[in-house]
Amino acid sequence: MDKVRIGVIGVWGRGAIARNWQASGRAEVVAGMDVCDRNIAIFKREVAPDAWVTKDYRELLAREDLDAIAITSPDYTHEEYAVAALEAGKHVFCEKPLAITIEGCDRILRAWQASGKRLMVGFNMRYMNMFRTMKEIVDSGVIGEIKAVWVRHFVGHGGDYYYHDWHGTRENTTGLLLQKGSHDIDVVHWITGRYTKRVVAMGSLDYFGGDKPNDLTCVECPEQKTCFEAQPNSTRIQCAFRQEIDVEDHSLVLMDMEGGIKASYLQCHYTPDYHRNYTFIGTEGRLENSEPDGKVWVKTRASGTWRQLADRTYEIKKAHGTHSGADPVICNDFLDMIIDGKEPLATPEAGRMSVAVGCAASESLRNGNKPVDIPPIAW
């Protein structure tokens, strides 16, 4: 195969990642599908001028000149599109989350197994220098055996990203512990090398949502000049205080993991800053990061080894490309998977397990904080 011929479903927004394939020299974006004329026009102008385009994904999948499909459309479409693409005999890159239900993920996995094709989940955090460094440190054994993990996710601009558009309803996302949290849950699974067995969660809708009409936009709102969340010049202009919003903007999850690891994940969408703070505690030390500072710190304790002789500070090198340099790398990994048979860094099973935790956590917090077990994959 000289070049991988790729079709993109959902050509703008996250679909802009296709620029990396187009520039790789090993792939060609030959087709695109989107339901929005504006998105198609931008895609043709800025990503793939010669690409064939359509508004019907079935027409796209029927093309015989496509080797692979990149699904970068809204979350609630992933299950339908991924299953159809695999059944059409295409390799699939599916942006996270794999689906918005556990059953949807399992259906995709069954289609993947039956297809004989390759499936990759778009966990770009696994390709960021910060988290790769943290993985390398843990795997080196310098902090011993991991026993506890704490994650705090400060989602500054949460209204902009998640409450001014389709993300704000359970129908479209299940919840932001799934939609947004799937990245962090996956990183916890990946760095520890263990999956979650049971969760307990709590959360609420404390700031966003309200009594505004569902069809109100920032452009038309009489409170535009006084509302702190107004963004009339954005592409996301639905009122962040509209009635239909029903996904929690503040939540936390306790995760009982394999190997006796206990983890916590906290998420808030009305903080003034944006960053993720991770702490991994092992039997011989502690690892912590700061995204704003671009640093990772390791502190060691008495262990009877030379490791106890020093604490360490890591300066994370900056990388080129979107998502802290992860997007070009993940796109190359997808091509390596198809062309060379390389195993992807994030397996389809990993994609399913992060969704399963997000779904179970949403169930827990909406039902009196009851413990919920993570079901096995329904192959």
Question: Tokens standing for 370?
Answer: 């009851």
| Residue 2 pLDDT | 79
Question: Tokens standing for 21?
Answer: 């394939």
pLDDT in tens, 192-209: 999 999 999 999 999 999
In whole angstroms, what is the distance from residue 160 CA to residue 341 CA?
A: 39
User: Do residue 84 and residue 231 come from a single domain?
Assistant: no
User: Do residue 189 and residue 210 come from a single domain?
Assistant: yes
User: Do residue 76 and residue 220 come from a single domain?
Assistant: no
Whole-Å CA distances, 318 to 128, 228, 289, 321, 357: 9, 32, 15, 10, 31
Q: Would 34 be classed as within a structural domain?
A: yes
Residues 6+ apart with CB under 8 A from 144: 282, 283, 284, 285, 303
User: Do residue 367 and residue 291 come from a single domain?
Assistant: yes
Roughly what angle, to the nearest 10 degrees, separates helices 102-115 and 78-87?
A: 10
Q: Would 297 be classed as within a structural domain?
A: yes
For β-strands 146-155 and 312-315, DSSP reports them as unpaired
- Over pLDDT 70: what percentage of the chain? 100
User: Do residue 236 and residue 358 come from a single domain?
Assistant: yes
User: Do residue 272 and residue 294 come from a single domain?
Assistant: yes
Q: Would 265 be classed as within a structural domain?
A: yes
Residue 79 exposure: Cα atoms within 13 Å on the Cβ side:
15
DSSP string, 283-297: SSEEEEEETTTTEEE
Average pLDDT over the chain reads 96
Which of 14-18, 302-306, 319-323, 365-369 is the most confident on average?
365-369
Residue 359 near residue 45 (C-beta atoms within 8 A): no
pLDDT in tens, 90-112: 999 999 999 999 999 999 999 99
pLDDT in tens, 28-73: 999 999 999 999 999 999 999 999 999 999 999 999 999 999 999 9
Q: Would 257 be classed as within a structural domain?
A: yes
Mean pLDDT of all residues in 345-353: 96
Q: Would 21 be classed as within a structural domain?
A: yes
Q: Would 379 be classed as within a structural domain?
A: no
The closest alpha carbon to 194, from 350, 379, 351, belongs to: 350
Q: Would 378 be classed as within a structural domain?
A: no
User: Do residue 253 and residue 138 come from a single domain?
Assistant: yes
Q: The domain that contains 111 carries what CATH number?
A: 3.40.50.720
User: Do residue 265 and residue 297 come from a single domain?
Assistant: yes
Q: The domain that contains 361 carries what CATH number?
A: 3.30.360.10
DSSP string, 147-158: EEEEEEEEETTH
The closest alpha carbon to 85, from 112, 48, 53, belongs to: 112
Residue 124 near residue 152 (C-beta atoms within 8 A): no
| Residue 1 pLDDT | 73
Q: Would 318 be classed as within a structural domain?
A: yes
Domain count, the chain: 2
- Kindly indicate the confidence band of residue 81, based on its pLDDT and cuts at 50, 70 and 90: very high
How big is the chain, counted in residues? 379
pLDDT in tens, 145-177: 999 999 999 998 878 889 999 999 999 999 999
Count CB-CB contacts under 10 A for residue 337: 20
- Kindly indicate the confidence band of residue 24, based on its pLDDT and cuts at 50, 70 and 90: very high
- Kindly indicate the confidence band of residue 343, based on its pLDDT and cuts at 50, 70 and 90: very high
Mean pLDDT of all residues in 254-273: 97
User: Do residue 267 and residue 142 come from a single domain?
Assistant: yes
User: Do residue 27 and residue 163 come from a single domain?
Assistant: no
User: Do residue 309 and residue 177 come from a single domain?
Assistant: yes
Which residue, chain included where needed, has tokens 């709590």?
Answer: 202
User: Do residue 115 and residue 130 come from a single domain?
Assistant: no
Range of the domain at 339: 4-123+327-347
Residues 6+ apart with CB under 8 A from 189: 195, 196, 350, 353, 354
